[in-house]
């Protein structure tokens, strides 16, 4: 049961995270190295993330499909930069059915290649464009260092793949999907993300441009929480994705891909969790309100449980996800700790005195101690709970935003960048360095160029590394 104390974040954030994932019932360890078993509570959280994104995809014209898990090895080799980028992470099947395969099959690391081959068959004319496809699937990347949800050998995700008639249309799609990711992160996961463009050496293998949403976790490290790629015509040329234009001339398509994974579950844990456990945003919390009945004897038990069930039904009727904790043999205090660990946004307590006074106690998970608790009338309780859930959602976003903004510092020199990064914060400064300059920053400080944010100051300015004129500011931080 999820009530044992965990290592404080301030002592060892990494250890805290691993303990929370298991003690809060999100996952269990697997007999396969680098893989996890996602338990029902963790999977329900992923389902909420999935539903929020899927709704947005379909509203913008995208349709779901499914493509094979196994990809002919030759497909990957048709886009040279792509295969070079993924080669160290590939899992390859060479034998099946007791025989050696004529051609090895790669276990899907991502699907640009097999979907590119399919698009070449599906697209004939400009009337077939744009082609907007999304896939919910699992992928395998043979990671050396794994961490539950953040980096595992097998993980769940969605990958969108689209084809367009022009570069402008592809770029518009790429940025539209990034906006969708950012909107979900902010409005449902309560995580304030920074949208921006990846540097040349951080872009997706085979892409023309890669865009990202970057989030600050509770230990101030950056987490790349979603990416969107303008693939240009690289994959179209490799897989002969062509269309007949209005002048009856054959043209190569412009394609995109974009993805969010179960890493978002880890982001929710690390952006909001505290030393008592998870703190889940109400919009995506599997359980929004847990009802804990309080009684001392069997006489009180019957009356209190009847009231608790009535209240639960009322809240469910108002669209609230409710759980009644009527487990026997456990104290209310044990149950409080248990549900705090699991991050349920609101706890509702009801006992004999509440029945007499027609009240209920509501405790918010986002606030500490006595500040979190209030007594409300049972009349109009559903409306009061809805208001409280909205307040919790808004407060988690406000807290995460204030935390992030307090730990991003503007720097003018490389020495200042080093000092900021060494202190564990993010550095923002003008950048015109080369790929080699960027690699040197990473080698010497451990920080990577997270992105060139869309929100840019008026410029130009002087590059913090070379002193040369720069047109953009960049964000540097240590990252997962």
pTM (predicted TM-score)? 0.95
The answer to whether residues 57 and 160 touch, using CB atoms and an 8 Å cutoff, is yes
Is residue 76 within 8 Å of 113, Cβ to Cβ? yes
Spatial separation of the C-alpha atoms in residues 440 and 449, rounded to whole Å: 11
Which domains are delineated in the chain? 13-272 (3.30.930.10), 289-394 (3.40.50.800), 408-477 (3.30.110.30)
Residue (of 198, 203, 189) closest to 268 by Cα position: 189
| CA–CA gap between residue 265 and residue 281 (Å, rounded) | 12
Q: What angle do CA 450, 452, 453 make, to 5 degrees?
A: 100
Please enumerate in sequence order all residues whose Cβ is within 8 A of that of 306, keeping only pairs 6 or more positions apart, or say none: none
Alpha helices in 347-428 (DSSP H): 352-357, 381-406, 414-422
Average pLDDT, the chain: 96
Q: Is 472 helix (H, G, I), strand (E, B) or coil?
A: strand
pLDDT at 475 over 80: yes
- pLDDT tens-digit series, residues 310-331: 999 999 999 999 999 999 999 9
Cα–Cα distance for residue pair 345/365, rounded to 1 Å: 5
Q: Per-residue pLDDT tens for 156-207?
A: 999 999 999 999 999 999 999 999 999 999 999 999 999 999 999 999 988 9
| 332, 292 contact by CB (below 8 A) | yes
Return the structure tokens found at 40. 């029902």
Sheet holding 154-164, edge to edge: 63-64, 131-140, 154-164, 254-261, 222-230, 209-216, 194-197, 448-453, 472-477, 426-431, 408-410
Structure tokens at 256: 């995109």
pLDDT > 90 fraction of the chain, expressed in percent and rounded: 92
Q: Which helix (H) or strand (E) holds 306?
A: helix 298-317
Q: Give the Cα separation of 116 and 109 in Å (integer).
A: 14
pLDDT in tens, 41-81: 999 999 999 999 999 999 999 999 999 999 999 998 887 67
pLDDT, one tens digit per residue, over 232-262 is: 999 999 999 999 999 999 999 999 999 999 9
CA distance 60 to 173: 10
SS3 446: coil
């Amino acid at each position: 049961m999820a009530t044992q104390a965990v290592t404080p974040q301030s002592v060892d954030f990494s250890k805290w995270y691993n303990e929370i994932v298991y003690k809060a019932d999100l996952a269990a360890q697997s007999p396969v190295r680098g893989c996890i078993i996602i338990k029902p509570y963790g999977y329900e959280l992923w389902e909420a993330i999935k539903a929020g994104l899927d709704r947005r995809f379909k509203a913008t014209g995208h349709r779901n499909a499914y493509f094979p898990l196994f990809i002919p090895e030759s497909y990957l080799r048709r886009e040279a930069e792509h295969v070079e980028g993924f080669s160290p992470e590939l899992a390859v099947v060479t034998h099946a059915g007791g025989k050696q395969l004529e051609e090895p099959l790669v276990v899907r690391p991502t699907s640009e290649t097999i979907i590119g081959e399919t698009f070449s068959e599906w697209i004939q004319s400009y009337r077939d464009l744009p082609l907007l496809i999304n896939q919910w699937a699992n992928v395998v990347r043979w990671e050396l260092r794994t961490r539950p949800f953040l980096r595992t050998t097998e993980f769940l995700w969605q990958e969108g793949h689209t084809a367009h008639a022009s570069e402008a249309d592809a770029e518009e799609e790429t940025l539209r999907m990034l906006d969708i990711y950012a909107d979900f992160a902010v409005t449902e996961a309560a995580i304030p993300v920074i949208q921006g463009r990846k540097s040349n050496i951080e872009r997706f293998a085979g892409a023309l441009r890669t865009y990202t949403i970057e989030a600050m976790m509770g230990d101030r490290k950056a987490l790349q929480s979603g990416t969107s790629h303008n693939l240009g015509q690289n994959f179209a040329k490799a897989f002969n994705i062509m269309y007949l234009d209005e002048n009856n001339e054959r043209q190569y398509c412009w394609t995109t891909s974009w993805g969010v994974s179960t890493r978002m579950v880890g982001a929710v844990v690390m952006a909001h969790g505290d030393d008592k456990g998870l703190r889940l945003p109400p919009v995506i919390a599997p359980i929004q309100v847990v009802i804990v009945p309080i009684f001392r004897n069997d006489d009180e038990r019957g009356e209190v449980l009847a009231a608790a069930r009535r209240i639960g039904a009322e809240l469910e009727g108002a669209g609230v996800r409710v759980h009644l904790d009527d487990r026997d043999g456990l104290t209310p205090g044990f149950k409080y700790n248990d549900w705090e660990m699991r991050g349920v946004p609101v706890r509702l307590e009801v006992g004999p005195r509440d029945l007499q006074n027609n009240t209920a106690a509501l405790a918010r998970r986002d606030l500490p101690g006595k500040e979190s608790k209030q007594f409300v009338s049972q009349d109009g309780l559903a409306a009061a709970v809805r208001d409280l859930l909205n307040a919790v959602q808004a407060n988690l976003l406000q807290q995460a935003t204030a935390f992030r903004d307090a730990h991003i510092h503007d720097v003018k020199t490389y020495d200042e960048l080093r000092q900021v990064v060494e202190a564990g914060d993010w550095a923002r400064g003008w950048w015109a360095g080369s790929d080699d300059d960027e690699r040197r920053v990473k080698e010497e400080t451990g920080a990577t160029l997270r992105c060139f944010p869309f929100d840019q100051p008026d410029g130009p300015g002087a590059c913090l590394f070379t002193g040369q004129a720069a047109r953009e500011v960049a964000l540097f931080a240590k990252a997962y």
